[in-house]
Structure 1
Amino acid sequence: MQLDNLSHLGVFASVARHGSFRKAAAELALSASAVSYAVRTLEDRLGVGLFNRTTRSVALTEAGKHLLERLQPALGGVNLALEEMNMFRASPAGTLRINSSRDAAVMVIGPLIRRYLDAYPDITLDVVSDDSLVDIVDRGFDLGIRYEEHVPEDMIAVPVWGSQRFVVVGSPEYFARYGKPQHPDDLARHNCVRYRFPRGNVYKWELGKGDIKLELDVPGRLSVGDSELATRAALDGVVLAFLPEFRLREHIAAGRLALAMEDWCPPSTGLMMYYPRQRRMSSALRAFIDMARMPQES
Protein backbone atom coordinates (compact mmCIF):
# COMPACT_ATOMS: atom_id res chain seq x y z
CA MET A 1 0.00 0.00 0.00
CA GLN A 2 1.27 3.46 -0.83
CA LEU A 3 2.32 5.59 2.12
CA ASP A 4 -0.24 8.33 1.40
CA ASN A 5 -3.02 5.70 1.38
CA LEU A 6 -1.90 4.54 4.81
CA SER A 7 -1.89 8.08 6.19
CA HIS A 8 -5.35 8.70 4.74
CA LEU A 9 -6.62 5.53 6.42
CA GLY A 10 -5.27 6.80 9.74
CA VAL A 11 -7.12 10.08 9.25
CA PHE A 12 -10.30 8.18 8.38
CA ALA A 13 -10.03 6.09 11.58
CA SER A 14 -9.53 9.21 13.69
CA VAL A 15 -12.60 10.94 12.21
CA ALA A 16 -14.63 7.76 12.75
CA ARG A 17 -13.48 7.47 16.36
CA HIS A 18 -14.31 11.07 17.23
CA GLY A 19 -17.34 11.50 14.97
CA SER A 20 -15.85 14.88 14.12
CA PHE A 21 -13.46 16.30 11.54
CA ARG A 22 -12.52 19.09 13.94
CA LYS A 23 -11.63 16.74 16.82
CA ALA A 24 -9.68 14.47 14.48
CA ALA A 25 -7.74 17.48 13.23
CA ALA A 26 -6.87 18.43 16.82
CA GLU A 27 -5.72 14.89 17.63
CA LEU A 28 -3.58 14.63 14.50
CA ALA A 29 -2.26 18.20 14.67
CA LEU A 30 -3.61 18.90 11.18
CA SER A 31 -5.87 21.58 9.80
CA ALA A 32 -9.55 20.73 9.36
CA SER A 33 -9.17 21.24 5.61
CA ALA A 34 -6.29 18.73 5.49
CA VAL A 35 -8.41 16.14 7.31
CA SER A 36 -11.34 16.77 4.97
CA TYR A 37 -9.04 16.47 1.93
CA ALA A 38 -7.59 13.16 3.15
CA VAL A 39 -11.04 11.63 3.67
CA ARG A 40 -12.35 12.95 0.36
CA THR A 41 -9.28 11.59 -1.47
CA LEU A 42 -9.77 8.18 0.16
CA GLU A 43 -13.45 8.15 -0.80
CA ASP A 44 -12.56 9.05 -4.40
CA ARG A 45 -10.02 6.23 -4.60
CA LEU A 46 -12.43 3.67 -3.14
CA GLY A 47 -15.39 4.95 -5.11
CA VAL A 48 -17.72 4.90 -2.09
CA GLY A 49 -18.83 7.37 0.56
CA LEU A 50 -17.44 6.66 4.04
CA PHE A 51 -19.32 9.32 6.02
CA ASN A 52 -22.75 10.89 6.01
CA ARG A 53 -22.12 14.56 6.75
CA THR A 54 -24.50 17.21 7.97
CA THR A 55 -23.84 20.63 9.46
CA ARG A 56 -24.21 19.09 12.93
CA SER A 57 -23.01 15.51 12.71
CA VAL A 58 -20.67 13.06 11.03
CA ALA A 59 -21.69 9.39 10.87
CA LEU A 60 -20.23 6.34 9.16
CA THR A 61 -21.98 4.88 6.17
CA GLU A 62 -22.36 1.10 5.95
CA ALA A 63 -19.26 1.04 3.76
CA GLY A 64 -17.43 3.16 6.33
CA LYS A 65 -18.43 0.83 9.17
CA HIS A 66 -17.18 -2.18 7.21
CA LEU A 67 -13.87 -0.50 6.39
CA LEU A 68 -13.31 0.58 9.99
CA GLU A 69 -14.03 -2.92 11.30
CA ARG A 70 -11.50 -4.48 8.94
CA LEU A 71 -9.00 -1.66 9.36
CA GLN A 72 -8.68 -1.38 13.14
CA PRO A 73 -6.59 -4.56 13.71
CA ALA A 74 -4.22 -3.58 10.90
CA LEU A 75 -3.76 -0.01 12.17
CA GLY A 76 -3.25 -1.37 15.66
CA GLY A 77 -0.43 -3.54 14.32
CA VAL A 78 1.16 -0.59 12.54
CA ASN A 79 0.97 1.58 15.67
CA LEU A 80 2.47 -1.22 17.75
CA ALA A 81 5.33 -1.65 15.29
CA LEU A 82 6.04 2.08 15.35
CA GLU A 83 5.88 2.16 19.14
CA GLU A 84 8.34 -0.75 19.39
CA MET A 85 10.86 1.40 17.55
CA ASN A 86 11.11 3.43 20.75
CA MET A 87 13.12 0.56 22.20
CA PHE A 88 15.94 1.68 19.93
CA ARG A 89 15.72 5.32 21.02
CA ALA A 90 17.72 6.91 23.81
CA SER A 91 14.51 8.30 25.35
CA PRO A 92 10.71 7.90 24.93
CA ALA A 93 8.92 9.72 22.13
CA GLY A 94 5.42 10.16 20.75
CA THR A 95 2.16 11.72 21.92
CA LEU A 96 0.55 10.91 25.27
CA ARG A 97 -3.18 11.70 25.46
CA ILE A 98 -4.67 11.93 28.97
CA ASN A 99 -8.29 12.39 30.02
CA SER A 100 -8.78 13.40 33.64
CA SER A 101 -11.21 14.96 36.04
CA ARG A 102 -10.58 18.61 36.87
CA ASP A 103 -9.44 17.67 40.38
CA ALA A 104 -6.94 15.19 38.94
CA ALA A 105 -5.62 17.79 36.53
CA VAL A 106 -4.91 20.15 39.44
CA MET A 107 -3.51 17.58 41.84
CA VAL A 108 -1.63 15.17 39.56
CA ILE A 109 -0.97 16.55 36.09
CA GLY A 110 -0.30 20.23 36.73
CA PRO A 111 2.68 19.72 39.09
CA LEU A 112 4.25 17.22 36.65
CA ILE A 113 3.99 19.08 33.35
CA ARG A 114 7.30 20.93 33.46
CA ARG A 115 9.28 17.99 34.87
CA TYR A 116 7.79 15.53 32.38
CA LEU A 117 8.27 17.69 29.29
CA ASP A 118 11.78 18.71 30.36
CA ALA A 119 12.74 15.07 30.95
CA TYR A 120 11.30 13.83 27.64
CA PRO A 121 11.72 16.49 24.93
CA ASP A 122 10.46 14.14 22.18
CA ILE A 123 7.06 13.59 23.85
CA THR A 124 3.98 15.71 23.15
CA LEU A 125 1.45 15.86 25.99
CA ASP A 126 -2.26 16.26 25.16
CA VAL A 127 -4.49 16.71 28.24
CA VAL A 128 -8.29 16.99 28.30
CA SER A 129 -9.72 17.69 31.76
CA ASP A 130 -13.45 17.52 32.43
CA ASP A 131 -15.73 15.79 34.89
CA SER A 132 -17.76 13.77 32.38
CA LEU A 133 -17.06 10.05 32.41
CA VAL A 134 -15.74 9.05 28.99
CA ASP A 135 -14.62 5.79 27.41
CA ILE A 136 -10.91 6.49 27.04
CA VAL A 137 -10.47 3.71 24.46
CA ASP A 138 -13.33 4.93 22.29
CA ARG A 139 -12.09 8.53 22.52
CA GLY A 140 -8.49 7.64 21.72
CA PHE A 141 -6.88 8.44 25.08
CA ASP A 142 -3.89 6.53 26.43
CA LEU A 143 -4.57 7.19 30.11
CA GLY A 144 -7.42 8.23 32.36
CA ILE A 145 -7.24 9.68 35.88
CA ARG A 146 -10.34 9.53 38.08
CA TYR A 147 -11.44 8.79 41.62
CA GLU A 148 -11.26 5.07 42.26
CA GLU A 149 -15.02 4.45 42.15
CA HIS A 150 -15.17 5.83 38.59
CA VAL A 151 -12.49 3.54 37.12
CA PRO A 152 -13.96 0.85 34.78
CA GLU A 153 -13.41 -2.69 36.02
CA ASP A 154 -11.66 -3.87 32.84
CA MET A 155 -8.82 -1.35 33.21
CA ILE A 156 -5.42 -1.63 34.83
CA ALA A 157 -5.42 0.90 37.68
CA VAL A 158 -2.43 2.47 39.44
CA PRO A 159 -2.85 4.56 42.64
CA VAL A 160 -1.59 8.09 42.17
CA TRP A 161 -3.03 10.07 45.09
CA GLY A 162 -4.27 8.98 48.49
CA SER A 163 -7.76 9.34 49.86
CA GLN A 164 -9.31 12.78 49.75
CA ARG A 165 -11.95 14.42 51.91
CA PHE A 166 -14.88 16.45 50.61
CA VAL A 167 -15.98 19.04 53.15
CA VAL A 168 -18.93 21.35 53.74
CA VAL A 169 -17.83 24.99 53.84
CA GLY A 170 -19.35 28.44 54.09
CA SER A 171 -18.13 31.95 54.69
CA PRO A 172 -18.23 33.53 58.17
CA GLU A 173 -20.78 35.97 56.73
CA TYR A 174 -23.04 33.11 55.64
CA PHE A 175 -22.88 31.37 59.01
CA ALA A 176 -23.56 34.66 60.83
CA ARG A 177 -26.75 35.15 58.80
CA TYR A 178 -28.08 31.60 58.55
CA GLY A 179 -26.35 29.58 61.24
CA LYS A 180 -24.04 26.61 60.88
CA PRO A 181 -25.56 23.18 60.09
CA GLN A 182 -24.71 20.45 62.57
CA HIS A 183 -26.50 17.48 60.97
CA PRO A 184 -27.36 16.50 57.37
CA ASP A 185 -31.04 17.15 58.13
CA ASP A 186 -30.13 20.81 58.72
CA LEU A 187 -29.12 21.22 55.07
CA ALA A 188 -32.79 21.28 54.06
CA ARG A 189 -32.95 24.80 55.54
CA HIS A 190 -29.82 26.07 53.74
CA ASN A 191 -28.90 27.31 50.28
CA CYS A 192 -26.46 24.68 48.98
CA VAL A 193 -24.61 24.81 45.69
CA ARG A 194 -25.68 22.00 43.36
CA TYR A 195 -23.03 20.55 41.08
CA ARG A 196 -24.29 19.55 37.65
CA PHE A 197 -22.31 17.05 35.56
CA PRO A 198 -21.83 17.71 31.81
CA ARG A 199 -24.57 15.21 30.96
CA GLY A 200 -27.05 17.07 33.13
CA ASN A 201 -27.34 14.85 36.19
CA VAL A 202 -26.83 16.52 39.58
CA TYR A 203 -24.20 15.29 42.03
CA LYS A 204 -25.56 14.19 45.39
CA TRP A 205 -23.56 15.24 48.43
CA GLU A 206 -21.99 12.10 49.94
CA LEU A 207 -21.92 12.35 53.71
CA GLY A 208 -21.33 9.70 56.32
CA LYS A 209 -20.68 8.93 59.94
CA GLY A 210 -19.75 5.49 61.20
CA ASP A 211 -21.98 2.98 59.43
CA ILE A 212 -24.33 5.69 58.14
CA LYS A 213 -23.85 6.59 54.47
CA LEU A 214 -25.97 9.33 52.88
CA GLU A 215 -26.38 10.70 49.37
CA LEU A 216 -28.30 13.96 49.55
CA ASP A 217 -29.90 15.89 46.72
CA VAL A 218 -29.43 19.17 48.55
CA PRO A 219 -31.64 22.24 48.03
CA GLY A 220 -30.17 25.33 46.46
CA ARG A 221 -30.76 28.21 44.07
CA LEU A 222 -27.38 27.86 42.36
CA SER A 223 -26.31 25.01 40.08
CA VAL A 224 -22.82 25.02 38.54
CA GLY A 225 -20.58 22.74 36.53
CA ASP A 226 -17.29 24.07 37.84
CA SER A 227 -15.79 23.85 41.31
CA GLU A 228 -14.16 27.27 40.93
CA LEU A 229 -17.58 28.88 40.60
CA ALA A 230 -18.80 26.94 43.62
CA THR A 231 -15.81 28.18 45.62
CA ARG A 232 -16.42 31.77 44.50
CA ALA A 233 -20.07 31.62 45.53
CA ALA A 234 -19.13 30.22 48.94
CA LEU A 235 -16.52 32.96 49.44
CA ASP A 236 -19.15 35.56 48.56
CA GLY A 237 -21.45 34.27 51.30
CA VAL A 238 -24.12 33.07 48.87
CA VAL A 239 -24.09 29.30 49.45
CA LEU A 240 -22.73 26.34 51.34
CA ALA A 241 -20.40 24.30 49.15
CA PHE A 242 -19.21 20.69 49.23
CA LEU A 243 -15.73 20.51 47.72
CA PRO A 244 -12.38 18.69 47.95
CA GLU A 245 -10.56 19.95 51.03
CA PHE A 246 -7.26 20.41 49.16
CA ARG A 247 -8.87 23.15 47.05
CA LEU A 248 -9.91 25.13 50.11
CA ARG A 249 -6.95 24.98 52.50
CA GLU A 250 -5.70 28.50 51.82
CA HIS A 251 -9.18 30.00 52.20
CA ILE A 252 -9.78 28.08 55.43
CA ALA A 253 -6.38 29.04 56.85
CA ALA A 254 -7.05 32.71 56.01
CA GLY A 255 -10.49 32.60 57.63
CA ARG A 256 -12.34 33.29 54.39
CA LEU A 257 -14.14 29.94 54.66
CA ALA A 258 -15.03 27.77 57.65
CA LEU A 259 -15.82 24.07 57.93
CA ALA A 260 -19.18 22.70 59.00
CA MET A 261 -20.31 19.17 59.90
CA GLU A 262 -16.75 17.85 59.91
CA ASP A 263 -17.84 14.65 61.64
CA TRP A 264 -20.09 13.93 58.64
CA CYS A 265 -17.27 14.34 56.09
CA PRO A 266 -15.24 11.11 56.03
CA PRO A 267 -12.32 10.53 53.65
CA SER A 268 -13.29 9.40 50.15
CA THR A 269 -11.40 7.15 47.76
CA GLY A 270 -8.15 8.23 46.16
CA LEU A 271 -7.23 9.04 42.58
CA MET A 272 -6.20 6.30 40.17
CA MET A 273 -4.43 6.33 36.82
CA TYR A 274 -5.88 3.70 34.49
CA TYR A 275 -5.29 2.35 31.00
CA PRO A 276 -6.59 -0.52 28.82
CA ARG A 277 -5.60 -4.00 29.93
CA GLN A 278 -5.23 -5.34 26.39
CA ARG A 279 -3.12 -2.50 25.02
CA ARG A 280 0.68 -2.56 25.04
CA MET A 281 1.96 0.26 27.23
CA SER A 282 3.76 2.92 25.21
CA SER A 283 7.09 4.30 26.38
CA ALA A 284 5.49 7.74 26.85
CA LEU A 285 2.76 6.26 29.05
CA ARG A 286 5.21 4.21 31.09
CA ALA A 287 7.38 7.28 31.67
CA PHE A 288 4.39 9.33 32.88
CA ILE A 289 3.13 6.60 35.24
CA ASP A 290 6.58 6.10 36.72
CA MET A 291 6.96 9.82 37.29
CA ALA A 292 3.44 10.36 38.66
CA ARG A 293 3.76 7.73 41.35
CA MET A 294 7.29 8.64 42.40
CA PRO A 295 6.10 10.88 45.29
CA GLN A 296 3.98 8.01 46.61
CA GLU A 297 6.94 5.65 46.68
CA SER A 298 9.61 8.00 48.03
Structure 2
Amino acid sequence: MRSTDLSELAAFDAVARHRNFRRAGEERGVTASAISHAVGNLEARVGIRLLNRTTRSVALTDAGAMLLSQLSPAFGEIGSALDALNQFRDTPFGKVRINAPNSVAPFVFRSVIGPLIAKNPGLQLEIVATDRLVDIVEEGFDAGIRLGESLRDGMTAVKIKPRLRFAVVGSSNYFERHPLPKTPDDLRQHVCIRNIYPSGKPYAWEFSRAGKIIEFETTGSLSLDDHELMVEAALSGVGLAYVWEERARPYIQNGSLVECLASWSAPEDWLYLYYPTRKYLSAGLRAVIDALRV
Protein backbone atom coordinates (compact mmCIF):
# COMPACT_ATOMS: atom_id res chain seq x y z
CA MET A 1 0.00 0.00 0.00
CA ARG A 2 1.26 3.46 -0.88
CA SER A 3 1.85 5.95 1.95
CA THR A 4 -0.72 8.23 0.32
CA ASP A 5 -3.30 5.43 0.65
CA LEU A 6 -2.58 5.12 4.36
CA SER A 7 -2.85 8.88 4.88
CA GLU A 8 -6.20 8.89 3.06
CA LEU A 9 -7.45 6.06 5.28
CA ALA A 10 -6.24 7.95 8.36
CA ALA A 11 -8.08 11.06 7.15
CA PHE A 12 -11.28 9.06 6.67
CA ASP A 13 -10.88 7.45 10.10
CA ALA A 14 -10.55 10.88 11.74
CA VAL A 15 -13.59 12.31 9.95
CA ALA A 16 -15.65 9.21 10.71
CA ARG A 17 -14.85 9.43 14.41
CA HIS A 18 -15.36 13.19 14.74
CA ARG A 19 -18.19 13.53 12.20
CA ASN A 20 -16.52 16.82 11.42
CA PHE A 21 -13.85 17.81 8.87
CA ARG A 22 -12.49 20.72 10.92
CA ARG A 23 -11.94 18.64 14.06
CA ALA A 24 -10.46 15.83 11.98
CA GLY A 25 -8.03 18.34 10.47
CA GLU A 26 -7.07 19.64 13.90
CA GLU A 27 -6.34 16.09 15.05
CA ARG A 28 -4.26 15.36 11.95
CA GLY A 29 -2.52 18.74 11.98
CA VAL A 30 -3.78 19.79 8.55
CA THR A 31 -6.56 21.96 7.14
CA ALA A 32 -10.17 20.81 6.81
CA SER A 33 -9.86 21.19 3.01
CA ALA A 34 -6.84 18.86 2.99
CA ILE A 35 -8.85 16.26 4.91
CA SER A 36 -11.78 16.66 2.51
CA HIS A 37 -9.43 16.26 -0.46
CA ALA A 38 -7.89 13.09 1.01
CA VAL A 39 -11.30 11.52 1.70
CA GLY A 40 -12.49 12.51 -1.79
CA ASN A 41 -9.44 10.80 -3.30
CA LEU A 42 -10.13 7.67 -1.26
CA GLU A 43 -13.77 7.55 -2.38
CA ALA A 44 -12.75 8.07 -6.01
CA ARG A 45 -10.15 5.29 -5.78
CA VAL A 46 -12.48 2.70 -4.20
CA GLY A 47 -15.45 3.86 -6.29
CA ILE A 48 -17.85 3.96 -3.33
CA ARG A 49 -19.26 6.86 -1.32
CA LEU A 50 -18.13 6.52 2.28
CA LEU A 51 -19.59 9.71 3.76
CA ASN A 52 -22.81 11.63 3.27
CA ARG A 53 -22.02 15.32 3.60
CA THR A 54 -24.28 18.33 4.08
CA THR A 55 -23.38 21.89 5.05
CA ARG A 56 -24.23 21.00 8.66
CA SER A 57 -23.43 17.34 9.17
CA VAL A 58 -21.33 14.36 8.19
CA ALA A 59 -22.72 10.82 8.33
CA LEU A 60 -21.32 7.43 7.42
CA THR A 61 -22.80 5.42 4.60
CA ASP A 62 -23.22 1.68 5.18
CA ALA A 63 -19.96 1.13 3.31
CA GLY A 64 -18.23 3.80 5.39
CA ALA A 65 -19.48 2.24 8.64
CA MET A 66 -18.14 -1.16 7.58
CA LEU A 67 -14.77 0.32 6.64
CA LEU A 68 -14.52 2.21 9.94
CA SER A 69 -15.33 -0.91 11.98
CA GLN A 70 -12.28 -2.61 10.48
CA LEU A 71 -10.00 0.42 10.31
CA SER A 72 -10.31 1.52 13.95
CA PRO A 73 -8.82 -1.70 15.43
CA ALA A 74 -6.09 -1.63 12.77
CA PHE A 75 -5.10 1.94 13.57
CA GLY A 76 -5.24 1.04 17.25
CA GLU A 77 -2.75 -1.76 16.64
CA ILE A 78 -0.49 0.60 14.68
CA GLY A 79 -0.63 3.13 17.51
CA SER A 80 0.18 0.41 20.04
CA ALA A 81 3.12 -0.77 17.99
CA LEU A 82 4.54 2.74 17.70
CA ASP A 83 3.97 3.43 21.38
CA ALA A 84 5.78 0.21 22.28
CA LEU A 85 8.93 1.91 21.01
CA ASN A 86 8.82 4.04 24.16
CA GLN A 87 10.46 1.18 26.05
CA PHE A 88 13.65 2.05 24.14
CA ARG A 89 13.45 5.72 25.18
CA ASP A 90 14.26 7.33 28.50
CA THR A 91 10.86 9.07 28.57
CA PRO A 92 7.50 8.73 26.71
CA PHE A 93 7.11 10.32 23.30
CA GLY A 94 3.93 11.43 21.55
CA LYS A 95 0.70 13.39 21.97
CA VAL A 96 -1.83 12.96 24.77
CA ARG A 97 -5.15 14.83 24.47
CA ILE A 98 -7.06 15.45 27.69
CA ASN A 99 -10.51 17.00 28.09
CA ALA A 100 -11.31 18.65 31.43
CA PRO A 101 -14.07 20.90 32.76
CA ASN A 102 -13.01 24.52 32.54
CA SER A 103 -14.15 25.07 36.14
CA VAL A 104 -11.68 22.53 37.59
CA ALA A 105 -8.82 22.38 35.05
CA PRO A 106 -6.68 25.06 36.79
CA PHE A 107 -6.76 23.17 40.10
CA VAL A 108 -5.90 19.85 38.48
CA PHE A 109 -3.03 20.99 36.27
CA ARG A 110 -1.50 24.15 37.73
CA SER A 111 1.16 22.35 39.82
CA VAL A 112 1.46 19.36 37.50
CA ILE A 113 2.20 20.64 34.00
CA GLY A 114 5.68 22.05 34.67
CA PRO A 115 7.13 18.94 36.37
CA LEU A 116 5.33 16.61 33.95
CA ILE A 117 6.78 18.28 30.84
CA ALA A 118 10.21 18.68 32.43
CA LYS A 119 10.30 14.98 33.29
CA ASN A 120 8.93 13.92 29.88
CA PRO A 121 10.35 16.29 27.23
CA GLY A 122 9.09 14.10 24.38
CA LEU A 123 5.50 14.32 25.60
CA GLN A 124 3.06 16.57 23.70
CA LEU A 125 0.29 17.39 26.16
CA GLU A 126 -2.88 18.93 24.75
CA ILE A 127 -5.49 20.00 27.31
CA VAL A 128 -8.89 21.24 26.14
CA ALA A 129 -10.88 22.86 28.95
CA THR A 130 -14.62 23.22 28.41
CA ASP A 131 -17.67 22.77 30.60
CA ARG A 132 -19.80 21.45 27.73
CA LEU A 133 -20.58 17.73 27.70
CA VAL A 134 -17.91 16.00 25.60
CA ASP A 135 -17.79 12.49 24.16
CA ILE A 136 -14.07 11.85 24.49
CA VAL A 137 -14.11 8.95 22.02
CA GLU A 138 -16.02 10.81 19.33
CA GLU A 139 -13.88 13.93 19.70
CA GLY A 140 -10.55 12.14 19.69
CA PHE A 141 -9.41 12.58 23.30
CA ASP A 142 -7.25 10.01 25.05
CA ALA A 143 -8.90 10.73 28.40
CA GLY A 144 -11.26 13.08 30.20
CA ILE A 145 -11.67 14.46 33.71
CA ARG A 146 -14.93 14.72 35.59
CA LEU A 147 -16.48 14.71 39.06
CA GLY A 148 -17.63 11.33 40.32
CA GLU A 149 -16.84 7.89 39.03
CA SER A 150 -20.27 7.14 37.57
CA LEU A 151 -19.39 6.63 33.90
CA ARG A 152 -20.92 4.91 30.92
CA ASP A 153 -19.97 1.31 30.23
CA GLY A 154 -16.58 0.72 28.69
CA MET A 155 -14.76 3.42 30.67
CA THR A 156 -12.08 3.06 33.34
CA ALA A 157 -11.87 5.73 36.08
CA VAL A 158 -8.78 6.67 38.09
CA LYS A 159 -9.11 8.85 41.20
CA ILE A 160 -6.97 12.00 40.92
CA LYS A 161 -6.05 15.09 42.95
CA PRO A 162 -7.33 17.41 44.32
CA ARG A 163 -10.59 16.97 46.22
CA LEU A 164 -12.89 19.95 45.77
CA ARG A 165 -15.86 21.41 47.59
CA PHE A 166 -18.38 24.12 46.80
CA ALA A 167 -18.81 27.24 48.92
CA VAL A 168 -21.47 29.95 49.05
CA VAL A 169 -19.83 33.37 49.07
CA GLY A 170 -20.86 37.00 49.00
CA SER A 171 -18.99 40.29 49.25
CA SER A 172 -18.59 42.08 52.57
CA ASN A 173 -20.49 44.95 50.96
CA TYR A 174 -23.40 42.65 50.15
CA PHE A 175 -23.57 41.43 53.75
CA GLU A 176 -23.68 45.00 55.02
CA ARG A 177 -27.10 45.11 53.34
CA HIS A 178 -28.25 41.53 53.94
CA PRO A 179 -28.06 39.14 56.91
CA LEU A 180 -25.92 36.00 56.70
CA PRO A 181 -28.06 32.99 55.74
CA LYS A 182 -28.04 30.33 58.44
CA THR A 183 -29.77 27.54 56.50
CA PRO A 184 -30.17 26.81 52.77
CA ASP A 185 -33.82 27.80 53.09
CA ASP A 186 -32.69 31.33 54.06
CA LEU A 187 -31.31 31.70 50.54
CA ARG A 188 -34.85 32.40 49.35
CA GLN A 189 -34.45 35.86 50.89
CA HIS A 190 -31.19 36.51 49.00
CA VAL A 191 -30.08 37.36 45.48
CA CYS A 192 -28.44 34.21 44.13
CA ILE A 193 -26.35 33.96 40.97
CA ARG A 194 -27.62 30.98 39.00
CA ASN A 195 -25.17 28.27 37.89
CA ILE A 196 -25.84 26.97 34.38
CA TYR A 197 -24.25 24.50 32.01
CA PRO A 198 -23.04 25.79 28.62
CA SER A 199 -26.30 24.42 27.22
CA GLY A 200 -28.19 26.90 29.41
CA LYS A 201 -29.59 24.21 31.70
CA PRO A 202 -29.36 25.31 35.37
CA TYR A 203 -27.97 23.13 38.10
CA ALA A 204 -28.96 23.22 41.76
CA TRP A 205 -26.85 24.28 44.70
CA GLU A 206 -26.19 21.19 46.82
CA PHE A 207 -25.88 21.06 50.59
CA SER A 208 -25.52 18.24 53.07
CA ARG A 209 -26.83 17.65 56.58
CA ALA A 210 -26.89 14.38 58.53
CA GLY A 211 -25.77 12.50 55.45
CA LYS A 212 -28.65 13.77 53.32
CA ILE A 213 -28.18 15.89 50.20
CA ILE A 214 -30.34 19.00 49.99
CA GLU A 215 -30.80 20.76 46.65
CA PHE A 216 -31.66 24.45 46.36
CA GLU A 217 -33.02 25.67 43.04
CA THR A 218 -31.89 29.26 42.49
CA THR A 219 -34.12 31.78 40.72
CA GLY A 220 -31.84 34.83 40.38
CA SER A 221 -31.87 37.15 37.38
CA LEU A 222 -28.15 36.58 36.61
CA SER A 223 -27.08 33.21 35.16
CA LEU A 224 -23.44 32.30 34.50
CA ASP A 225 -21.58 29.20 33.30
CA ASP A 226 -18.11 30.28 34.39
CA HIS A 227 -16.86 30.17 37.98
CA GLU A 228 -14.43 33.03 37.49
CA LEU A 229 -17.29 35.24 36.32
CA MET A 230 -19.35 34.10 39.30
CA VAL A 231 -16.59 35.14 41.68
CA GLU A 232 -16.27 38.50 39.93
CA ALA A 233 -20.04 39.02 40.15
CA ALA A 234 -20.02 38.17 43.85
CA LEU A 235 -17.11 40.57 44.43
CA SER A 236 -19.14 43.34 42.80
CA GLY A 237 -21.92 42.81 45.32
CA VAL A 238 -24.49 41.52 42.82
CA GLY A 239 -25.42 38.56 44.98
CA LEU A 240 -24.31 35.23 46.40
CA ALA A 241 -22.30 32.78 44.29
CA TYR A 242 -21.93 29.02 44.57
CA VAL A 243 -18.39 28.27 43.40
CA TRP A 244 -15.46 26.00 44.01
CA GLU A 245 -14.06 27.05 47.37
CA GLU A 246 -10.55 26.82 45.94
CA ARG A 247 -11.36 29.52 43.40
CA ALA A 248 -12.79 31.87 46.02
CA ARG A 249 -10.17 31.16 48.71
CA PRO A 250 -7.81 34.11 48.00
CA TYR A 251 -10.74 36.54 48.31
CA ILE A 252 -12.04 34.83 51.44
CA GLN A 253 -8.58 35.11 52.99
CA ASN A 254 -8.25 38.84 52.22
CA GLY A 255 -11.80 39.58 53.38
CA SER A 256 -13.24 40.57 49.99
CA LEU A 257 -15.60 37.63 50.11
CA VAL A 258 -17.37 36.09 53.07
CA GLU A 259 -18.19 32.37 53.09
CA CYS A 260 -21.53 31.34 54.53
CA LEU A 261 -23.35 28.05 55.17
CA ALA A 262 -19.97 26.32 55.58
CA SER A 263 -21.47 23.76 57.99
CA TRP A 264 -24.03 22.89 55.31
CA SER A 265 -21.56 22.52 52.45
CA ALA A 266 -21.66 19.21 50.63
CA PRO A 267 -18.66 16.91 51.23
CA GLU A 268 -15.59 17.30 49.08
CA ASP A 269 -15.87 15.62 45.70
CA TRP A 270 -13.24 13.39 44.16
CA LEU A 271 -12.16 14.02 40.61
CA TYR A 272 -11.59 11.15 38.20
CA LEU A 273 -9.58 10.77 35.02
CA TYR A 274 -11.38 8.35 32.72
CA TYR A 275 -10.51 6.63 29.45
CA PRO A 276 -11.92 3.84 27.25
CA THR A 277 -11.25 0.49 28.92
CA ARG A 278 -10.42 -1.17 25.62
CA LYS A 279 -8.09 1.61 24.50
CA TYR A 280 -4.38 0.81 24.56
CA LEU A 281 -2.91 2.73 27.49
CA SER A 282 -0.01 4.61 25.92
CA ALA A 283 3.17 5.42 27.79
CA GLY A 284 2.31 9.11 27.55
CA LEU A 285 -1.13 8.64 29.10
CA ARG A 286 0.39 6.46 31.82
CA ALA A 287 2.80 9.32 32.62
CA VAL A 288 -0.15 11.75 32.90
CA ILE A 289 -2.08 9.36 35.14
CA ASP A 290 0.94 8.83 37.41
CA ALA A 291 1.29 12.61 37.79
CA LEU A 292 -2.38 13.13 38.66
CA ARG A 293 -3.49 10.09 40.60
CA VAL A 294 -4.00 10.13 44.36
Please indicate, yes or no, whether the TM-score normalized by the shorter chain is above 0.5: yes
Per-residue deviation, residues 244-270 of structure 1 (Å, max 9, x unmatched): 111111101111100111111132321
Following the alignment from structure 2 to structure 1, what is the Cα–Cα distance between the partners of residues 200 and 222?
A: 14
Residues 163 and 123 of structure 1, relative CA distance in 2, 3 Å threshold: closer
Following the alignment from structure 1 to structure 2, what is the Cα–Cα distance between the partners of residues 197 and 93?
A: 36
After TM superposition, the structure 1 stretch with the greater mean CA deviation from structure 2, 159-168 or 149-158, is 149-158
User: How much does 1:152 deviate?
Assistant: 4.0
Residue identity opposite 2:264 in structure 1: W
Residue identity opposite 1:181 in structure 2: P
3-state SS of paired residue (1:185): helix
Following the alignment from structure 2 to structure 1, what is the Cα–Cα distance between the partners of residues 185 and 92?
A: 54
Following the alignment from structure 1 to structure 2, what is the Cα–Cα distance between the partners of residues 3 and 67?
A: 18
1:236-247 to 2 correspondence within 5 Å?
Answer: 236-247=236-247
User: How much does 1:117 deviate?
Assistant: 2.1
Following the alignment from structure 2 to structure 1, what is the Cα–Cα distance between the partners of residues 93 and 114?
A: 16
Query: Identical aligned pairs, as a percentage?
Result: 44
Name the counterpart of 2:169. 169
Following the alignment from structure 1 to structure 2, what is the Cα–Cα distance between the partners of residues 199 and 96?
A: 27
Name the counterpart of 1:198. 198
Per-residue deviation, residues 100-158 of structure 1 (Å, max 9, x unmatched): 11233111223222222222222211111112332322322112111124544643222
3-state SS of paired residue (2:160): strand
Aligned partners of 2:97 and 2:125 also within 8 Å? yes
* 1:6 to 2:38 alignment: no
TM-score by length of 2: 0.93
Aligned partners of 1:94 and 1:123 also within 8 Å? yes
Name the counterpart of 2:122. 122
Following the alignment from structure 1 to structure 2, what is the Cα–Cα distance between the partners of residues 28 and 198?
A: 27
Residue identity opposite 2:94 in structure 1: G
After TM superposition, the structure 1 stretch with the greater mean CA deviation from structure 2, 142-151 or 38-47, is 142-151
TM-score by length of 1: 0.92
* Runs of 5+ consecutive residues of structure 2 not aligned to the other structure: none
Name the counterpart of 2:96. 96
Aligned partners of 2:103 and 2:226 also within 8 Å? no
Aligned partners of 2:196 and 2:225 also within 8 Å? yes
Aligned alpha-carbon RMSD (Å): 1.7
3-state SS of paired residue (2:30): coil
Per-residue deviation, residues 45-81 of structure 1 (Å, max 9, x unmatched): 1112222222222222232222212222222222222
* Runs of 5+ consecutive residues of structure 1 not aligned to the other structure: none
Name the counterpart of 2:52. 52
Name the counterpart of 1:277. 277
Residue identity opposite 2:97 in structure 1: R
3-state SS of paired residue (2:157): strand
Paired positions, count: 294
